Amino acid sequence: MQARTQDITAPFIRKSKYGPEIRERAFDLPEIESLNIRDLFPDTPETIFREGGDISVIRKATEEALKTVNMDMIKEGDTVNLLCSQYGFQLMGGDAYAEVLRATKDVIERRTGCKNIRLRVATGFRIREPEEIIKHYELDKYFNGAARGVTCLDKGVPIETDIGTLYGMAAIYDSDWIVHVHHGELRELDMHRMINRATKPFAMSYARMETRSIAHIGFGPRSENFVQKVIFDSPFVQSKYTFGCFLMTSPAGITGVEADNDLDAVDRRMLLFNIRPYGKIRQILSKIDECIVILDGAGEPRYMLGGGISFGNFTEAELDLFDLNVIPVSLGYNLFEKPAGSTAKSVNPAIKALVINHMWLGVPQMELPGHIPTIVVGREMEEVIERDPMNSMFMDYAVTAENLKAAVKFAKKITGLDKIMVFDGAFGYMHVSPSLAEYLLKVAPEVSREVEEELLPKWLEQRGIDPSSL
């Protein structure tokens, strides 16, 4: 544990119509301190950028990564769509992801002479969020008026695949060429299992609702990866695909940029880079047997980040989801169902109380108040939830506190705990109570040994990788 320095601040929350006004932050509570990820795991990869840092390093990293990418297929008179997803703008304030997009546009123009480069900001939920993103980061101005949002309810385009006709978004593919600009943090491990992670947006962000639902619910964990793969490999998509460019992260922050014409190569590099640091963070979360969680960031609960990892990874932390023999519960079974014979609970039973200080609506999450004593902070946050059609019964199972301090006090009283973890968008640090920090520091060495000697070799062998090659 270390004293906070001036560069450790509460992570940025972008103002949005999908959430309440920004108020008091969990970061500022007297019982919350900052635990450096490297105090837990010194081998966490070095970073080039964290929120509030020098954004020019992102441009330099993007330009360097693109040097080896072939762009010869793009001609001066062609049209190019740069494809991105809403969730990249939730990483460390979103500025780094926005800069990757700007830098990629500039490099394409410089190398090919092509000026007709359009931006497509894709979303699965919160259909007006792309408009907020484009306005906040001034992307419409940078792309000369050619930036627009794309939702899964927009006009579709048929894509013939090896399993039949599936549907992408017409606005995604209405150009001669597409460039896939994405981000490589862990996020929904229960779905992709770090297999074909790089192509996942082709069945989610870039797909019509019908096809998106097939991947998300119809196929479920592991097998849903097949849907995105057949879409990406289809003659239609391959006739337009040029290269992928990925913002890379570790739990400590942004580590660099990867770009390649071969998306499978990017996928493999992402797996080999992420599996150790994120494996250790996930494993140490599994050692927490009881705590209070405070949600206080941008986005829906499942994707809200803390310590560089999403809350959704904590709700299933009792399951080793890097282990391909383990069946996840969560979204693969629609958050309410469980596979026959499963003893796993819908939400990690270690979470004894949940305080919601700030979140955005738009994603179903009834499993939270249905399984965890939940306190919502403030009438405005309550009203945001009550007008969310995806969570119409949420407040039937939750209570409202007048302010954050009262909510935390109540959570402590009903649980008898002082162990608290905050998910507020932080990378590089976990924002936790002193008692939880002390516990995590105590178990970290054994977690590191367990991952290195037992779990990592198993995870790699399951994916056909020789552990000695890492």
Strand partners of residue 165: 160
What DSSP designation does 219 have? Answer: I
Confidence band for 220, pLDDT divided at 50, 70 and 90 = low
pLDDT at 335: 44
Nearest to 316 by CA among 363, 273, 348: 348
AA letter at 382: E
Q: What b/e readout covers 223-243, taking b as 16+ CB neighbours within 10 angstroms? A: ebbbbbbbbbbbebbeebbbb
Cα dihedral 179, 184, 186, 190 sign? positive
Domain span holding position 149: 56-275
pLDDT at 336: 42
- Predicted TM-score (pTM) of the model is 0.95
Given a contact cutoff of 8 angstroms between Cβ atoms, the answer to whether 409 and 246 are in contact is: no
- Percentage of the chain beyond pLDDT 70 is 94
Among 260, 275, 290, identify where a domain stops: 275
Structurally, how many domains does the chain consist of? 2
pLDDT at 326: 84
DSSP codes joined into one string, 413-425: HHH----EEEESS
pLDDT at 334: 41
285 with 414, same domain: the answer is yes
Whether residue 250 is contained in a domain is answered as yes
Whether residue 138 is contained in a domain is answered as yes
Whether residue 50 is contained in a domain is answered as no
* Cα 55 from Cα 48, distance rounded (Å): 10
* Cα 428 from Cα 253, distance rounded (Å): 6
What DSSP designation does 299 have? Answer: S
Whether residue 316 is contained in a domain is answered as yes
37 with 91, same domain: the answer is no
Whether residue 202 is contained in a domain is answered as yes
267 with 287, same domain: the answer is no
pLDDT single digits (tens) 349-399: 999 999 999 999 888 888 899 899 999 999 999 999 999 998 999 999 999
Confidence band for 400, pLDDT divided at 50, 70 and 90 = very high
Cα dihedral 429, 93, 17, 390 sign? negative
The yes-or-no verdict on residue 331 having pLDDT over 80 is: no
Give me 281's structure tokens: 């963070």
Domain CATH code at residue 217: 3.40.50.11440
349 with 313, same domain: the answer is yes
pLDDT at 2: 52
User: Mean pLDDT across the stretch 290-307?
Assistant: 96
- E strands of 86-126, at which residues? 116-123
141 with 193, same domain: the answer is yes
119 with 241, same domain: the answer is yes
Whether residue 167 is contained in a domain is answered as yes
- Lowest mean pLDDT segment, chosen from 39-48, 94-103, 161-170, 337-346: 337-346
308 with 412, same domain: the answer is yes
pLDDT at 219: 73
Strand partners of residue 177: 80
147 with 267, same domain: the answer is yes
Whether residue 311 is contained in a domain is answered as yes
193 with 153, same domain: the answer is yes
Only one residue has tokens 């105090």, namely 39
Given a contact cutoff of 8 angstroms between Cβ atoms, the answer to whether 39 and 441 are in contact is: yes
Given a contact cutoff of 8 angstroms between Cβ atoms, the answer to whether 403 and 393 are in contact is: no
